[in-house]
Amino acid sequence: MPATIIIGTQWGDEGKGKVTDWLANDMDMIVRYQGGHNAGHTVIAEGHELKLHLLPSGILRPHITSVIASGLVIDPKALIAELDQIKEIGISDPNLIISSNAHLIMPYHRLLDQAAEFKLGKSKIGTTGLGIGPCYTDKASRVGLRVQDLLDMKIFREKLEVALDFKNQVLTKIYGMEPVEIDAVMDEYSVYADRLKGMIGDTSRVINEALDAGKNVLLEGAQGTMLDIDHGTYPFVTSSSPIAGGACIGTGISPIRVKRIIGIVKAYTTRVGSGPFPTEQENDTGEAMRSVGGEFGTTTGRPRRCGWLDGVILKYAVRLNGLTEIALTKLDVLSPFETIKIAVGYKHDGVVYEHMPNHQTVFHKCTPIYEEMEGWQADISGVTSFEKLPKQARAYVERIQEIAGVPIAMISVGPNRTQTMLR
Ligand code: GDP
Ligand code: IMO
Ligand code: MG
């Protein structure tokens, strides 16, 4: 069977966790392909609200094989904390395989992430401070430690010595911080190695063999298109490739294996951290979206910036990811509004832009061109079919579909599994 990819089309937190969990019924394997525990995917199932950071969103389903593929950066402490969290709800022996090639977040990555942000001051990126960027930096610089190094702590120590030699100079001489002690790290990571070594495997092979055997494989993206290191709002991005192309690199499967690419579109837009956001509403409208939508970071608890849906970004996400369908989430959050706006273009210096401007200064400074639609002002959280939605809500969905040029196959009107309808 071909693989399916789930992609965030905005700046993350579109509801990827909910949609992944919803699709999990039909899947045999669910794979995370990039990012790290900067992700926060909420799954509400069997009476539990789980906030998953590294574990794929199918981990609660006994029939699913969960895979953490090579494109991730893994903080073993965070991973073990999540394994302990699911143990508490009765999943003590999850069917989980962790790529031997994934990179390890080390204590100095966290320190360097936070120190660099502090140094940037007002210009900070607003990272999660979890060491994601510095770990990917070391991967590209070829000085990273990988999951497989946990299998031989002698080699682990040799690599750590080389890394610390340089990192400690940066920590002490540039940032005036305490050095990281090698013995403390060895002690800490030896415990992690003992806990994780039975789960380490060749995930590219595992995934390809599953596909060969006709299994349904879902590749669960983290972050979103606009946080992509190449195509997002650089430098206000994460350090990996959340877009569809990143799924093949991060897993080691061929692009010809992929058939469905589902873009998750939140019915409005949110962003955590710094950077441009043309449709942001720093007013009562944004406040209302935040409070009705519960828009506070799953990982850091920070209030999310909120604004109207951006059709320019939507078209950009369709193009970059080759979306075959869309899952529209959080439509219920727009229920209180008398009118609803969608940006269909931008204006800057007398020029109209219908597509993503290729000079970011324009994107920073542009004014959105809005279409305004009638709201429905009715509770839709219990509606189970598209036909039963108020006509204004149907019109909004149809307008989004028209802008995207891709079918909206799924609509979510609440955080629970049951609050989902197919079209
Ligand atoms: P992700 O990072 O893309 O998985 O999204 P998050 O889990 O960080 O944020 C989405 C939030 O919205 C979570 O709290 C979900 O439980 C919630 N959610 C998902 N879909 C819906 C929906 O259709 N309506 C409402 N009201 N909440 C939703
Ligand atoms: P999910 O998977 C929203 C943002 C951070 C910051 C930028 C860089 O839940 O959608 P990083 O720590 O990655 O170096 O921070 O990226 N960011 C997210 N925003 N949802 C996420 O993940 C995010 N992961 C990172 O807030 O602006
Ligand atoms: Mg999230």
Whether 308 and 403 share a structural domain: yes
What's the CA-to-centroid distance between 36 and ligand 3, angstroms? 12
Does the beta carbon of 329 lie inside 6 Å of ligand 1? yes
Any idea which residue has 């969905």 for tokens? 397
Beta bridge partners, 53, equal none
Whether 230 and 378 share a structural domain: yes
Predicted confidence (pLDDT) at residue 298 exceeds the cutoff of 90: no
**Predicted confidence band of residue 299 (pLDDT cuts 50, 70, 90):** confident
What's the CA-to-centroid distance between 102 and ligand 2, angstroms? 19
Does the beta carbon of 13 lie inside 6 Å of ligand 1? yes
Pocket test for ligand 1, best of 14, 289, 330 (most atoms within 8 A of CB): 330
Does the beta carbon of 245 lie inside 6 Å of ligand 1? no
- Please give the average per-residue pLDDT across 326-348, as a whole number: 98
First to last CA, the chain: 23
Q: Is residue 96 part of a domain?
A: no
Which atom of ligand 1 is least distant from the CA of 419?
23
Among residues 21, 28, 37, 41, which one is catalytic?
A: 41
Question: What CATH number is attached to the domain comprising 224?
Answer: 3.90.170.10
Which atom of ligand 2 is least distant from the CA of 300?
26
In this predicted structure, which of 41-50, 146-155, 304-313 has the lowest mean pLDDT? Answer: 41-50
| pLDDT over 70, % of the chain | 100
Beta bridge partners, 6, equal 220, 262
**Predicted confidence band of residue 300 (pLDDT cuts 50, 70, 90):** confident
Which atom of ligand 2 is least distant from the CA of 128?
12
**Could you tell me the residue range of the domain that residue 191 belongs to?**
103-198
Q: Measure CA 222 to chain center.
A: 2
Does the beta carbon of 415 lie inside 6 Å of ligand 1? yes
**Predicted confidence band of residue 386 (pLDDT cuts 50, 70, 90):** very high
Choosing from 151, 172, 198, the residue where a domain stops is 198
What's the CA-to-centroid distance between 184 and ligand 3, angstroms? 32
Predicted local confidence at residue 46, as pLDDT: 77
Which atom of ligand 2 is least distant from the CA of 221?
2
Does the beta carbon of 330 lie inside 6 Å of ligand 1? yes
Whether 230 and 159 share a structural domain: no
Which atom of ligand 1 is least distant from the CA of 39?
2
Nearest residue to 225 (alpha-carbon basis) of 3, 5, 2 = 5
Q: What is the CB neighbour count within 10 angstroms for residue 358?
A: 8
Q: Is residue 274 part of a domain?
A: yes
Predicted confidence (pLDDT) at residue 228 exceeds the cutoff of 90: yes
What's the CA-to-centroid distance between 204 and ligand 2, angstroms? 25
Whether 72 and 156 share a structural domain: no
Residues flanking ligand 2, CB < 6 Å: 8, 11-13, 38-41, 125-128, 130, 132-133, 222-224, 227, 238-239, 272-273, 298
Whether 181 and 207 share a structural domain: no
Predicted local confidence at residue 45, as pLDDT: 82
Predicted local confidence at residue 286, as pLDDT: 98
Does the beta carbon of 305 lie inside 6 Å of ligand 1? no
Does the beta carbon of 10 lie inside 6 Å of ligand 1? no
The Cβ-side half-sphere exposure at 251, using a 13 Å CA radius, reads 34
Choosing from 198, 218, 233, the residue where a domain stops is 198
Question: What CATH number is attached to the domain comprising 120?
Answer: 1.10.300.10
Q: Is residue 94 part of a domain?
A: no
CB distance 321 to 7 below 8 Å: yes
Whether 146 and 211 share a structural domain: no
In this predicted structure, which of 98-102, 299-303, 338-342, 383-387 has the lowest mean pLDDT? Answer: 299-303
User: Considering only CA atoms, which residue is closest to atom 14 of ligand 1?
Assistant: 42
- Please give the average per-residue pLDDT across 36-48, as a whole number: 92
The pTM for the full model equals 0.97
What's the CA-to-centroid distance between 13 and ligand 3, angstroms? 4
Q: Is residue 31 part of a domain?
A: yes
Whether 68 and 211 share a structural domain: yes
Q: Is residue 407 part of a domain?
A: yes
Average pLDDT taken over every residue of the chain? 97
Predicted local confidence at residue 48, as pLDDT: 87
Whether 74 and 108 share a structural domain: no
**Predicted confidence band of residue 56 (pLDDT cuts 50, 70, 90):** very high
Residue 13 falls in the annotated catalytic set:
yes
Q: Is residue 405 part of a domain?
A: yes
Nearest ligand, CA 276: 2
Q: Is residue 97 part of a domain?
A: no
What's the CA-to-centroid distance between 163 and ligand 3, angstroms? 31
**Predicted confidence band of residue 151 (pLDDT cuts 50, 70, 90):** very high
Whether 171 and 108 share a structural domain: yes
In this predicted structure, which of 154-168, 205-219, 288-302, 320-334 has the lowest mean pLDDT? Answer: 288-302
Whether 119 and 31 share a structural domain: no
CB distance 145 to 160 below 8 Å: yes
Whether 66 and 191 share a structural domain: no
Among residues 13, 21, 28, 228, which one is catalytic?
A: 13
Choosing from 198, 224, 259, the residue where a domain stops is 198
Predicted confidence (pLDDT) at residue 47 exceeds the cutoff of 90: no
Whether 159 and 220 share a structural domain: no
Does the beta carbon of 17 lie inside 6 Å of ligand 1? yes
Residue 165 falls in the annotated catalytic set:
no
Q: Measure CA 271 to chain center.
A: 12
Total domains present in the chain:
2
Q: Measure CA 195 to chain center.
A: 26
Predicted confidence (pLDDT) at residue 1 exceeds the cutoff of 80: no
What's the CA-to-centroid distance between 148 and ligand 1, angstroms? 34
Beta bridge partners, 223, equal none
Q: Is residue 180 part of a domain?
A: yes
Nearest residue to 147 (alpha-carbon basis) of 205, 74, 203 = 74
CB distance 98 to 203 below 8 Å: yes
